[in-house]
Structure 1
Amino acid sequence: MSAVGAGLTLPFLLVYLHDVRGIELGSAGLVLSTIAIAGLVGTPVGGLLSDLFGPRRPAAAGLVLAAAGTAGMVGVRSAWQAALWAAVYGCGVAVTEPSFQALLSTSVSPERRSQIFAVRHALLNVGLSAGSLLAAFLVDFSAPQTFVTIYLVDAGTFLTFAVLVARAPGRGHPVPGYQVRSPGARGGYREILADRVLLRICVSVAVVFTCGYAQYYSAYPIFSIQTGGLDAATLQLTFLANTCTVVLAQLLVLRLVTGRRRALAFALSAALMAVAWLTVVGAAHLGGGPAAVAAFMTAMVLFAIGETLMAPSVPVIVNDLASDVGRGRYNGAYGFSQTLGYIIGPAVAGAALGSGHGSLLFVGLAVALGLVALHATRIDRLLTPTANRMGAGHAR
């Protein structure tokens, strides 16, 4: 439900700021960057608060903050106002994420964590797609009031989410026996990052988000249109292929990998993303036409399968490595590495595409993802069987 609200607003934020509120395009782009930069602060704070007070209250508080940020966008008239509310929104979402990840991981038994994270990933894609589709019918560029409506609806979904989290059964702690860190106890992120396996995972995740997910939203659309010859409608068709694959394949992929090793699923995920980007390079040089469209769609399907392998593996490894007293900070470190990738990725894409090296960019991205895949096989040897087992089966 909350993802429906995000799907309503996020695709139109740049357009809303520039076309409706008259903010210069460069400044509007910086507003979008503010969301990610705020996440660098909010994510570790959310993880620490989760360990101090339990995950429920920080998750609900972050959702309220996010609601305030998206509602504040209704009244912006200048770039600084937009940046302020974007920072509030980004910080709220970032505070929520590690707390909600901790809440999810402890709401089920450890052997079912892969399933719940897989379901979450599928439902996020359903919600974002449904929100984007709904926005296409609601938004009218000649009627600013329609933008006010979707931002207020988005704020309402965040508040509803906050109420559900706060009032769900098990008030206080998500499961009986959940421990929080004593306010007087020592420990911080230095203690958490002393876990070398976690540090290896976080570095790998930062590379995957820099070279994978961030490029899906930044370099891929520009490259496929400018070099590949796709028009806007065909580009949306390739995105639809990605989303439909995630929604339809997520639980099937989970069933296929249940009982196998999570680190190897992570390695295969990075490898598939690498193959997807090499396919994009090949598709861009087919000269357009049906063959190129089919190749671009194939690339997006491969990328989507990589997503379905990552969702039930990496965040679950992180939560299985963590104890209850450090779970929030483990998820905070994981979330920080994701946010870092979303900041670095577009900057790399802009520099490469701006200098006319699009094909070289995607080849380089594929090489980096291939190295992550190789590194994941080394992580595989460092994990305990408990942390490395996918689902309820036995490690293989």
Structure 2
Amino acid sequence: MSTAERATTGSAAFRLTLAGTLVSALGQGLTLPYLFVYLNQVLGTSLPVAGVVLALASVVGLATSALGGSIGDRVGLGRLAWIGLLVQATGTALLAVASVPIVAAAGAALNAAGNALVWPALNGLIALQVPESRRSRAYAVRFGLLNAGIGIGGLLSGWLVSIQRPVSFHLVYAVDATTTAAFAALILLGLRSAPGYGPGPVHHEAAMRGGYAAVLRDRAFVGYLVVALALGVFGYAQLNGPWAAFVIGAGGSTTQIVGFAFAANTAAIVVLQLGVERVTRHVRRSRLLAATALVWAAAWAITGLAALPVFRGPVADIGFIVALAVFGFGETFYSPVGGGMPNALAPEHLRGRYNSLAAATWPRGGFIGPPIAGALLAGMPASWVAVLLVGMLATAVAAAVLGARLPARVERPAA
């Protein structure tokens, strides 16, 4: 295949990847907020048991992620994405038909395992579909579409889902399973001849010899993993429960305001993502990581200020909504780097492993961040804000240090 043919095939494959991302995100948006509620309110699982189910699903996802990187380097990232989507669809289908908690637990575990395969596989696949000079925009476009789909699905779920109608939960999980399976079909039928679907020209023995030991000898990449993990611990992990607990508890706000704030977060990403990527396309990647940390620090500072007693009421509610919109603004700095950095550092035969380790920083952050938040919120809620601010500022410094260690071709995106 000539270079021109490869570029044309890659562009068509990328468009299919975007279409599949949007379709599957619509289904995910329908179900994303409800698993804990579904287990507890519909299937009758106690709150502690529901928490254990979610924790075990996360463990399964982490274990699968490491395995997926090795498989992807051997069989191809497109095949790995297809396998992961089928596993994810199977897990979601089990949730759709579950009538007892054990079936739902199995579905949640399979869903987490499939997602742990799909995310790094697609990040690596895009790097093979798109020339390096266009990768920053490619990752930004996919992240924007992902959030648009989830946001639309979330709005629809508000009309469809009700605890008083348990069948509504089964319905949205069935739709989610269908959209995920549709994405799997797109990859199987549309990407079979596209770059990255199967293993590359590198010998199978080379992938066998490399392994994760070779990845962890890459000091620049390990430095990036540290920064990404810190962003997970002091950033994303705090959105999944701790932020809402602080806003409702210490801030005296309501669940409706929490819902509006998350809608503002998604809207900020969808509206700003492409513009931010265009302006920052040639900015050093380490500076974009530092900018992410500083903007997220501002989001936490706004959250803390809005919770002060003097601002209780509408002013505080507006502040909480603005805080998550600001957090979404910070996400637009990170999305091109989160996909681009691992693939800029990865040698061809270890691309799957690099992307798997990079993707695993978020669930690892989810293990570390919430327990820290729980301890702080149970004692002095204001200390939660202070620790997050210090953590984000330290992360910005770490990103600056990382910039001095990155190869020039990685630190500066291709023109």
Range into which the TM-score falls when normalised by the shorter chain: over 0.9
Give distance in 2, aligned partners of 1:322 and 1:183: 17
Pairs within 5 Å for 1:1-396: 1-169=23-191, 171=193, 173-174=195-196, 178-180=200-202, 182-183=204-205, 185-285=208-308, 286-353=310-377, 355-390=378-413, 392-393=414-415
Structure 1: gaps spanning 5 or more residues: none
- What number of residue pairs does the alignment pair up? 391
* Segment of structure 1 superposing worse, 157-166 or 290-299: 290-299
Distance in 2 (CA, whole Å) between partners of 1:221 and 1:43 is 28
Judge conservation of contact 2:77–2:199 (CA < 8 Å) in 1.
no
Residue 143 of structure 1: how far off its partner (Å): 2.4
1:316-363 deviation digits (Å, cap 9, x = unpaired): 11110011111110001101212101222222222222x232210121
| In structure 2, distance between residues paired with 1:369 and 1:180 | 40
In structure 2, what is the Cα distance between the partners aligned to 1:261 and 1:305?
18
Cα RMSD, aligned residues only: 1.8
What one-letter code is carried by the residue in structure 2 that aligns with 1:212?
G
The answer as to whether partners of 2:235 and 2:296 remain within 8 angstroms in 1 is: yes
Shift of 1:298: 2.7
When residues 21 and 32 of structure 1 are mapped into structure 2, their CA distance, relative to the original with a 3 A threshold, is: same
The code of the aligned residue for 2:45 comes to I
Structure 2 runs not aligned, ≥5 long:
1-22
**Does structure 2 retain, via aligned residues, the 8 Å contact 1:274–1:365?**
yes
Distance 1:168 1:258 in 2: 30
Query: Higher mean Cα deviation, 298-307 or 60-69?
Result: 298-307
How far did 1:220 drift?
A: 0.7
Mapped to 2, the partners of 1:302 and 1:132 lie a distance apart of: 20
Distance in 2 of aligned mates of 1:329 and 1:179:
17
Offset, 1:172: 6.4
Matched-pair contact (CA < 8 Å) for 1:43–1:97: no
SS of corresponding position for 1:187: helix
Per the TM alignment, residue 169 of structure 1 is displaced from its structure 2 partner at its CA by 4.1
Deviation at 1:102, TM superposition (A): 0.7
Counterpart code for 1:88: L
1:113, distance to aligned residue in structure 2 (A) = 0.9
SS of equivalent residue, structure 1 residue 312: helix
- 1:54–1:172 contact (8 Å) kept in structure 2: no
- Aligned-residue sequence identity (percent) comes to 35
Normalising by structure 1, we get a TM-score of 0.94
**1:272 counterpart letter in structure 2:** V
TM-score normalized with structure 2 length: 0.90
- The letter for the 2-side match of 1:91 is A
Distance 1:183 1:83 in 2: 38
Greater alpha carbon shift after TM alignment, 182-191 vs 166-175: 166-175
Q: CA deviation at 1:36?
A: 1.8
Given that 2:78 and 2:191 are in contact with CA atoms closer than 8 Å, whether structure 1 keeps it comes out as: no
Does the Cα contact within 8 Å between 1:47 and 1:331 map onto a contact in 2?
yes
Q: Distance between the aligned counterparts of 2:63 and 2:236, measured in 1?
A: 21
Contact in 2 for aligned 1:52/1:183 (Cα 8 Å): no
Query: Contact between 1:107 and 1:175, CA under 8 Å: does it hold in 2?
Result: no
* 3-state SS, counterpart of residue 311 of structure 1: helix
Residue identity matched to 2:68: G
- Who is 2:12 aligned against? none
C-alpha separation in 2, matches of 1:148 and 1:234: 27
